[in-house]
Amino acid sequence: MTTRFERQRQVRRWHRRIALLCAAQLLAWTLSGVFFAFIDIEGVRGSDHRRAPQTGPLPEITFPAVSESASSLKMLWRLPGEAIVSVETEKGGLWYGSDGQALAPLSASEALVMGTLGTDLAPNQAEWIETAEAGAEYRGAPLPLWRVYHSDHPSTVAYLHATSGQVLAIRNTSWRWWDFLWSLHIMDYDTRDEIGTWLLKLFSLLAVVTAIAGLGLYFLSPQRGR
């Protein structure tokens, strides 16, 4: 017959094993949680580097090439003095100039101009990106796109829409730390977007078992041993 002392030893043994297995992940959850609680999210997003969009009355534009299937039209400024229109259709977004003609993607020099207008990064380097990579800084943004930055500060970059030049995202060192710790927090080390990974579910259950085993040790231990 199993005695109270033997049950206590069994629970303690399993508690130590599970706790050792969970220790590193519990530490990762704690450290990442502390970081998320204290970091300025606007600084992580690079909001302090964004500039207000160009303003002013937009001209009247006609679009003979726009299909009737368009669900929405949005007019905005692109290069200085250049009004453009975004047209959302069933097949995706289309961009037109003031003459109603489809717009070509920005050139590298034009991307630098848009980076200067949209941010305070004073970019002098422009890179064309058209390949999706798992876990990339620009994940979720429509491809292709432009990455612009200043050669003296390559750690802070802006990602621009290839045609409109709109700033889609700004990435800096704070964001990269956030992204790394987020991957540890949700245990998705590739895409860093899937919250319900099997690893997260497994270690969450193990953490619960560890807590329950710890409570069991407390109640199984003699009063003096507590």
65 and 146 fall within a common domain: yes
Give the total number of structural domains in the chain.
2
34 and 111 fall within a common domain: no
Give the contacts of 40 (CB within 8 A, at least 6 positions apart).
Answer: none
- Range name among 19-23, 110-114, 130-134, 189-193 with the lowest pLDDT average: 19-23
Instruction: Place 4 in a pLDDT band, splitting at 50, 70 and 90.
Output: low
Which tokens belong to 104?
């070509």
Helix/strand/coil (H, E, C) string of the chain?
CCCHHHHHHHHHHHHHHHHHHHHHHHHHHHHHHHHHHHCCHHHHHCHHHECCCCCCCCCCCCCCCCCCCCCEEEEEECCCCCEEEEEEECCEEEEECCCCCECCCCCHHHHHHHHHHHECCCCCEEEEECCCCCCCCCCCCCCCEEEEECCCCCCCEEEEECCCCCEEEEECHHHHHHHHHHHHHHCCCCCCCCCCCHHHHHHHHHHHHHHHHHHHHHHHCCCCCC
User: Over pLDDT 70: what percentage of the chain?
Assistant: 79
Q: What is the mean pLDDT of residues 16-24?
A: 75
Burial 30-45 (b: 16+ CB within 10 A, else e): eebeebeeeeeeeebb
59 and 139 fall within a common domain: yes
> Pick the residue with more confidence: 25 or 89?
25
72 and 35 fall within a common domain: no
d(Cα 152, Cα 150) in Å, to the nearest integer? Answer: 5
pTM: 0.80
Tell me if 225 is assigned to some domain: no
188 and 110 fall within a common domain: no
58 and 162 fall within a common domain: yes
189 and 201 fall within a common domain: yes
- Range name among 81-85, 180-184, 210-214 with the lowest pLDDT average: 210-214
153 and 199 fall within a common domain: no
Note down the domain range covering 186.
Answer: 11-43+177-220
167 and 107 fall within a common domain: yes
